[in-house]
């Protein structure tokens, strides 16, 4: 491929360009749709140029995944921001938990490709607070969840002895519904059923935590 559509030999910001090309492909078709050669094609660059910025396809995918997690965080933050304060700290804390869960699920529903790319690429809890995964508010999905759980304890709406590891429980439930809705056996549910299931699920978590 020659340097068509570009005057300079250097691209200028290839890494970023590849990343957003990858993000776009992920949006349309999930992690499997993130293909390296296509990204370089969209960037107007030869296939191998990508290897100057990403060790391999996997590395690109991880970067895309992190970015997608940031977008998920945005959705969660938006849901948090939308809840009116009631004055009662307990109620507010519970609403915060609900909002985090519903924001996560809303992201799954509106951006299924990105959701799958964000959370079904092999990763590790040790990276859960990496700034690359933060939304515009500066916090990652994991940090947002941890935050509302902390508030829940402080407000006395959740026994302190159950706090440790509660992220995993809450996250699991919501994540599972998201996955089953998207490419698991729960596809084909109507919008209403999804809405209903989402609400009931976060209630169940709030009750059971």
Partner DNA sequence: TGTCATTGTGGACAGTGTACACATGTGGGA
Partner DNA sequence: TCCCACATGTGTACACTGTCCACAATGACA
With CB under 5 to 8 Å by kind, the binding choice for 38 among DNA, its own copies, none is DNA
How far is the C-alpha of 56 from the C-alpha of 41, rounded, in Å? 16
Of the ranges 5-13, 104-112, 177-185, 201-209, which one interacts with DNA (CB under 7 A)?
5-13
- How many amino acids of this chain bind DNA (CB under 7 A)? 24
- 3-state SS track over the chain: CCCCCCCCCCCCCHHHHHHHHHHHHHHHHCHHHCCHHHHHHHHCCCHHHHHHCCCCHHHHHHHHHHHHHHHHHHHHHHHHHCCCCCCCHHHHHHHHHHHHHHHHHHHHHHCHHHHHHHHCCCCCHHHCCCHHHCCCCCCCHHHHHHHHHHHHHHCCCCCHHHCCCHHHHHHHHHHHHHHHHHCCCCCCCCHHHHHHHHHHHHHHHHHHC
Site map 18..57 versus its own copies, x via CB under 8 A: --------------x-------------------------
23 in contact with DNA (CB under 7 A): no
9 in contact with DNA (CB under 7 A): yes
Q: Which is closer to DNA, CB of 117 or CB of 198? A: 117
- The CB-of-203 to its own copies minimum distance in angstroms stands at 8
Joined together, the tokens standing for residue 133 give 């995964």
Site map 24..63 versus DNA, x via CB under 7 A: -----------xxxx------xxxxx-xxx--xxx-----
With CB under 5 to 8 Å by kind, the binding choice for 102 among DNA, its own copies, none is none
Helices 14-29 and 57-81, axial angle in degrees (round to 10)? 70
129 in contact with its own copies (CB under 8 A): no
The residue ranges that bind its own copies (CB under 8 A) are: 32, 119-128, 142, 165, 168-169, 171-180, 183-189, 193, 196-197, 200-201, 203-209
The residue ranges that bind DNA (CB under 7 A) are: 1-3, 8-12, 14, 35-38, 45-49, 51-53, 56-58
């Amino acid at each position: 491929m020659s340097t068509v559509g570009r005057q300079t030999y250097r691209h200028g910001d290839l890494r970023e360009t590849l990343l957003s090309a990858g993000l776009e492909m992920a949006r349309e078709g999930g992690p499997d749709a993130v293909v390296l050669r296509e990204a370089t094609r969209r960037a107007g660059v030869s296939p191998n140029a990508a290897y100057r910025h990403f060790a391999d396809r996997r590395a690109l995918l991880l970067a895309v995944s992190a970015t997608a997690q940031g977008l998920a965080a945005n959705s969660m933050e938006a849901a948090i921001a939308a809840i009116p304060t009631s004055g009662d700290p307990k109620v507010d804390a519970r609403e915060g938990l609900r909002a985090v869960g519903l924001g996560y699920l809303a992201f799954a529903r509106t951006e299924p490709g990105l959701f799958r790319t964000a959370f079904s690429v092999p990763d590790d809890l040790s990276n859960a607070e990496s700034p690359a995964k933060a939304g515009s508010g500066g916090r990652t999905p994991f940090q947002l969840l941890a935050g509302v759980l902390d508030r829940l304890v402080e407000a006395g709406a959740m026994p302190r002895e159950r706090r440790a590891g509660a992220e995993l429980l809450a996250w699991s439930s919501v994540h599972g519904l998201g996955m089953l809705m998207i490419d698991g056996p729960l596809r084909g549910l109507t919008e209403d059923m999804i809405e209903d299931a989402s609400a009931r699920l976060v209630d169940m978590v709030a009750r059971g935590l």
